[in-house]
Structure 1
Amino acid sequence: MAQRSDNWWQRNKFKLNGLVLILPFWFLYEAMNPVFPKSWPTQTIGPFTVTPTPLTNDAPYQHHGDWVKDFSLQFCEGCVANIRQAYMAIAAEQPALEDFAETDLSILHGSSFAQHVHAKATAQPKAGDKVWLLIEDWQGKLHVGSWDWPQS
């Protein structure tokens, strides 16, 4: 008959199994109750009313070799159907619409309830930079708006 080893580990290792079973509920709760930063001021850009919300307070991060910052944008009711394409970028000066043609970065996507965008940025936006939103409607008219980059 094998001799039983009655040490601390043998008496308490089952508690580790309980912790492994409880931890997913903690992470599930945090995932179901996210905390977002405060929304930026609402602006009227042409016929569109837009409210941007950064998804985090973190600086831009690297995504496939480019620096991006994630935003959620809420448009007025029915406005999304009138948008052909829209782009967002963080820069000192207004970017041209042609600058976005070669990549799919910075293009708004989502549903009629909220649009999401990975806004192209520099590694560390400066105090004078702006967050530019370029909206093209179905008639080909370009509407441009901007928000000041918040001070650090």
Structure 2
Amino acid sequence: MFNPSRDQVRDFFCSAWTKHLDRMPLVGAEVTAADIAARHPEYHTLLSNPEMARNQEWTPDSGQMNPFLHLSLHLAIHEQLSIDQPPGIRVAFERLRTRMDTHDAEHVLLECLGETIWRAQREGSQMDALAYVDAIQRKAGMR
């Protein structure tokens, strides 16, 4: 899934969650998606109802984070950490984990990633990977 539609992303997370609940085999990114979903009980009802998931909207005005954006950012961070890309992210993450649990450390990365993406969109530029890692390093007390 390199450029999935909104519905494909939602269906992917709902399907992974349903397979997890039904104890069916998970493959590839489904394993990670189900693990991430398990750590977000506030999304379990939504993930168990694909129709509701496909039709619900989350707007900036509502003040709520889109659950599928949140889960997708977790998935992106998991991939970044697995390949240490951008370089240095894994070391900074491990440093954060000395001060907090894994999920809280992921949320620090998620916040930095969201800010970096927002800045790139606002400026109409590419994502600044160095600024992203620098922000994580600052949060980890490495700078």
Larger radius of gyration between Structure 1 and Structure 2: 1
Q: TM-score, with normalisation over the residues of structure 1? A: 0.21
Q: TM-score, with normalisation over the residues of structure 2? A: 0.22
More strand by share: 1
